[in-house]
Amino acid sequence: MNRTILQIVTLLLCVLVSACAGGGLVVEEEGVPRSEKEAQRRGTEGKYGTERESIFGEDGLSFLNPSKSTGGAGGGGGGIGVNTYLWRATLDTISFMPISSADPFGGVIITDWHATPESSDERFKLNVYILGRQLRADALRVTVFRQVLQNQVWRDAAIPADTATKIEDAFLTKARQLRNNDLAQN
């Protein structure tokens, strides 16, 4: 009885392992089989002939060489999902605020509420979104929240329309300085 069970388990394992071996055909999304050689020849091209993107970007994931850049317009690789210079500049600039959450792969930094000792009846919070790997103005979005203390209750308050833009400019200026320093050292 035990020998029969052992033979069945062995047979199932052989079937499973051989199923993982692949075979000679690759089936695309249209359901049309094509040879494995053709799949290798086409490389990473997708259904419409454009190159598919990797989840780790063009150059992959790099933990051992944080100064490695993706090239071009200040990509700033560094093994994180967003522009390294924007990420560092943002954290440096808002270092006086408590950080509630920071996700370097998603490019999201959320601060906690911060009030200065000079005006303890007013507090601010930032949500920063770094949207890409390039050092560009459109790769950054900042949302600013402001609350004022009225009758011992924090209430949302309006902020000037250009506040977020000024903060974004400060982050971008710092990021450019960091990139220029790195370029000058190399």
Q: Which tens digits make up the pLDDT trace of 105-134?
A: 999 999 999 999 899 899 999 999 999 899
Q: Report if residue 31 sits inside a domain.
A: yes
User: Is residue 140 pLDDT above 90, yes or no?
Assistant: yes
Return d(Cα 6, Cα 54) in angstroms, integer.
42
Domain count across the chain: 2
**For the ranges 76-80, 148-152, 163-167, which has the lowest average pLDDT?**
76-80
Q: Report if residue 64 sits inside a domain.
A: no
Q: Report if residue 35 sits inside a domain.
A: yes
Let me know whether 35 and 92 are in one domain.
Answer: no
SS3 content of the chain, % helix, strand, coil (to 5): 35, 25, 45
* Strands annotated E in the chain: 25-27, 33-35, 99-103, 108-111, 122-130, 140-150, 153-157
Q: Report if residue 60 sits inside a domain.
A: no
Q: Report if residue 47 sits inside a domain.
A: no
Task: Pick the more confident residue, 81 or 102.
Answer: 102
Let me know whether 36 and 89 are in one domain.
Answer: no
Which range marks the domain in which residue 38 is found?
2-42
Return d(Cα 71, Cα 74) in angstroms, integer.
6
Let me know whether 95 and 20 are in one domain.
Answer: no
Q: Which tens digits make up the pLDDT trace of 162-184?
A: 999 999 999 999 999 999 999 99
Contact 163, 156 (CB under 8 A): no
Return d(Cα 156, Cα 78) in angstroms, integer.
38
Residue 64 binned pLDDT confidence (cut-offs 50, 70, 90): very low
Q: Report if residue 179 sits inside a domain.
A: yes
Residue 118 exposure: Cα atoms within 13 Å on the Cβ side: 0
Residue 24 binned pLDDT confidence (cut-offs 50, 70, 90): very low
CATH of the domain at 90: 3.30.530
Q: Report if residue 61 sits inside a domain.
A: no
